[in-house]
């Protein structure tokens, strides 16, 4: 683990060693995927270089992450790194109303279909 030369990102050069030696010191796990998920929850993003094309796996085990507020020597910015939270209060009342209307329409449609099915069943029985 180290900062990039620019100080705007950090590298994990050996994920296996990082997961085995570093993660257990600071987390209750040694799972690199869980660590990356945590980074993503706090707004960190994996840096993909153009020469890698995003599709080609890098030749060396080097993963780079960046966050606009995680900059070497700028400790005062760290307080801006916050976990992303989607709260119920962010859902608009109009959205809830639309969803309720959709559910009501679906239930009505199901009742109509059920009635048609029963009618078809009774006609089929009469035909036998």
Q: Give tens-digit pLDDT for 60-109.
A: 678 889 999 998 888 999 999 998 876 666 666 666 666 777 788 888 88
Between 90 and 5, where is the model more confident?
A: 5
Check: CB of residue 35 under 8 Å from CB of residue 42.
Answer: no
Residue 14 pLDDT > 80: yes
Tokens linked to 119: 């009618």
Rounded Cα–Cα distance for residues 35 and 10 (Å)? 14
Question: Do 22 and 70 fall within a single domain?
Answer: yes
- Look up the CATH number of the domain holding residue 14: 1.10.10.10
Count: domains in the chain? 2
**79 and 93 assigned to the same domain:** no
Distance CA 21, CA 39 (A): 18
Residue 93: its pLDDT value, please? 65
pTM tops 0.95, yes or no: no
Q: Are residues 29 and 92 in the same domain?
A: no
User: What is the extent of the structural domain holding 61?
Assistant: 1-83
pLDDT at 69: 92
């Amino acid at each position: 683990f180290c900062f990039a030369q620019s100080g705007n990102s950090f590298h994990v050069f050996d994920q296996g060693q990082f997961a085995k030696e570093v993660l257990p010191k600071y987390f209750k796990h040694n799972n690199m995927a869980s660590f990356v998920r945590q980074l993503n929850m706090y707004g960190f993003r994996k840096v993909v270089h153009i020469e890698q094309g995003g599709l080609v796996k890098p030749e060396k085990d080097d993963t780079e992450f960046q966050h606009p507020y995680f900059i070497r020597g700028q400790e005062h910015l760290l307080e801006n790194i916050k976990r992303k939270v989607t709260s119920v209060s962010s859902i608009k009342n109009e959205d809830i109303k639309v969803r309720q209307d959709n559910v009501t329409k679906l239930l009505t449609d199901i009742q109509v279909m059920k009635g048609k099915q029963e009618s078809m069943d009774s006609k089929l029985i009469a035909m036998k």
